Structure 1
Amino acid sequence: MPTIEELKKAKAEQDSRPPHESVYSVAKRAESESRDQEMPARMTYVEYQGIGLSEAIALIIELGDRAVPNFALSPGEMQAYAKAVSWLLAIPHPEIDDPMKGLIVTGATGTGKTLLVSLLWALSEKMGVHRPFIDRDSGQRRMKPLLWNCSMHALDHVEGYSNNGSYQAIGYNVLHIGDLGTEPDTFLRYGTKGSLSDLICQRSDMGYKDYPTVITSNLPWEEMRQRYGDRAYSRLRGDLIEVRLLGKDHRTER
């Protein structure tokens, strides 16, 4: 039930609203929006509520042991994993200003970017991590699993555009772009030129709070700017939390 203050605020706001929208309906909408803002950034199954960063790191290392022979993390990699897990669980971290943002994992070839994103997905599934997403039917935010298609490569988005003339995955709750920068600079659909800069910008315009993106890329930031342009570069910088993996090519060390 709207409060007196909400009704007064709604009355003042109504002058700029369509005439058919009542003061009460404006107040109810404001009440709903207020509830959405107060909704916790993450929600987990009961058995994992209250878990700390060290316990979550132990879990993701356990998942890594199962996925990769001789899985081990250097001190630098441990810091990167701690930041990534902090993003996943919305644990306060000095380099994360908003855990509702998406994630970009950067680093040279073979540093384990795809593995990290895959392990984050597995940890999210194991812990039952949820966050608010927009429900397209009701227009309201609902708590839904924080999961994504880890196998969705940049080339898959190119193929989808070339075959259908649009980016079929743009409306996913979480959009995944693996190996951004390995696709052709431009591609064609019946003579119409496309670029993943269009996907980046269109997705950003939908708002990261409702439509976050998870990306892996070998490209340094300045190369991203040169390749995708200032507009897409600005959106990548503004919409994503960066986790950078340093070190040697793990594939050549096996």
Structure 2
Amino acid sequence: MKTTLKIDVEELKKSMLQRRPMKDRFRMPMSEEKAYAYLLAAIMAEVEYRHRVFCSCEDMEKQLQEIAHWLTTPSSHFGILLCGGCGNGKSTMLKAFQQLLNALHIPKPYNEGTYGIRIVDAKYIAYLCKNNHEAYRKLISVDMLGIDDLGTEPSEVLDYGNVYTPVIDLLTKRYEEQLFTVITTNLTPQQIREHYGDRIADRLNEMVKKIVFSNGTYRTDKLATPG
């Protein structure tokens, strides 16, 4: 009886997965070492684009290694959270990743074009929710999304008497659909929990690989990489 039940359960699971296939996680089709080299080149280019002089450091190398590892190895996480203080390279890293995807032209499955990531400021998400709800609705479901400066947006927006929570609703939908999401924030994980509540904090724990930027600001005359 137990053996038969086990077989029935396995067959049922296979049947359910065939009807609702597991969503593929984005991975860069290369070795971790190559991904690291490409990310390094991309961030160097982003710094030069901002008319600054690139200076490598141990903290940045560690951050690149963590991101390269996550982008090239299997993981249950389907996004990254870059968290830390002001001006220490989080936004630069996100923009460098965007430019790298644009340069590599990595093909999507089923001839659906190439991978690319859209980057929006968290405040702009709130603005769209209030002023262009159709555009906001489309933004929620893009394949790859970068959210810059999480925590700077208003928690709620009021539209004709309706109260919306733009970022919370967006993150909830992307959690449910397992959509690739990169987030930068100056908030600590504890501050994220306090700001957005236990529900969103717990979902972010499942969604994202946390990478802490513990280095100081680069916005000085001596160091180069802007944040």
Partner of 1:42: 27
Picking from 3, 17, 33, the partner of 1:54 is 33
Q: Is the 8 A contact 1:43 1:131 kept in 2?
A: no
Partner of 1:164: 132
- 3-state SS of 1:215 partner: strand
Judging changes above 3 Å, is the alpha-carbon distance between structure 1 residues 234 and 191 closer, same or farther for their aligned structure 2 residues? same
Partner of 1:201: 172
Distance, in Å, in 2 between the alignment partners of 1:241 and 1:131 is 22
- 3-state SS of 1:231 partner: helix
- 3-state SS of 1:188 partner: strand
- 3-state SS of 2:209 partner: strand
CA deviations on 1:169-210 (whole Å, 9 max, x unpaired) are 01101122110001122221112222222221122122x1xx
Q: Is the 8 A contact 1:176 1:213 kept in 2?
A: yes
Distance, in Å, in 1 between the alignment partners of 2:221 and 2:213 is 16
Distance, in Å, in 2 between the alignment partners of 1:70 and 1:164 is 39
Partner of 1:123: 100
Letter in 2 for 1:71: F
Larger radius of gyration: 1
For normalisation by structure 1, the TM-score amounts to 0.69
Distance, in Å, in 1 between the alignment partners of 2:26 and 2:193 is 30
Distance, in Å, in 1 between the alignment partners of 2:174 and 2:213 is 25
Picking from 45, 53, 73, the partner of 1:91 is 73
Partner of 1:79: 62
How far did 1:79 drift?
1.0
- 3-state SS of 1:103 partner: strand
Runs of 4+ in 1 over 6 A off after TM superposition: none
Q: Is 1:145 aligned with 2:114?
A: yes
CA deviations on 1:115-153 (whole Å, 9 max, x unpaired) are 111112222333333566xxxxxxxx8776332112x11
Structure 1: unaligned runs, 5 residues or longer: 1-7, 14-25, 45-50, 133-140
In the alignment of these two chains, the number of paired residues is 207
For normalisation by structure 2, the TM-score amounts to 0.77
How far did 1:165 drift?
4.2
Q: Is 1:176 aligned with 2:161?
A: no
Partner of 1:67: 46
Q: Is 1:241 aligned with 2:209?
A: yes
Q: Is the 8 A contact 2:46 2:95 kept in 1?
A: no
How far did 1:54 drift?
2.8
Partner of 1:186: 156
Q: Is the 8 A contact 2:25 2:78 kept in 1?
A: no
Q: Is the 8 A contact 1:108 1:218 kept in 2?
A: yes
Structure with the larger RCO, 1 or 2 (CA within 8 Å, 6+ apart): 2
Structure 2: unaligned runs, 5 residues or longer: 1-6, 223-227
Partner of 1:101: 78
Q: Is the 8 A contact 1:201 1:231 kept in 2?
A: no
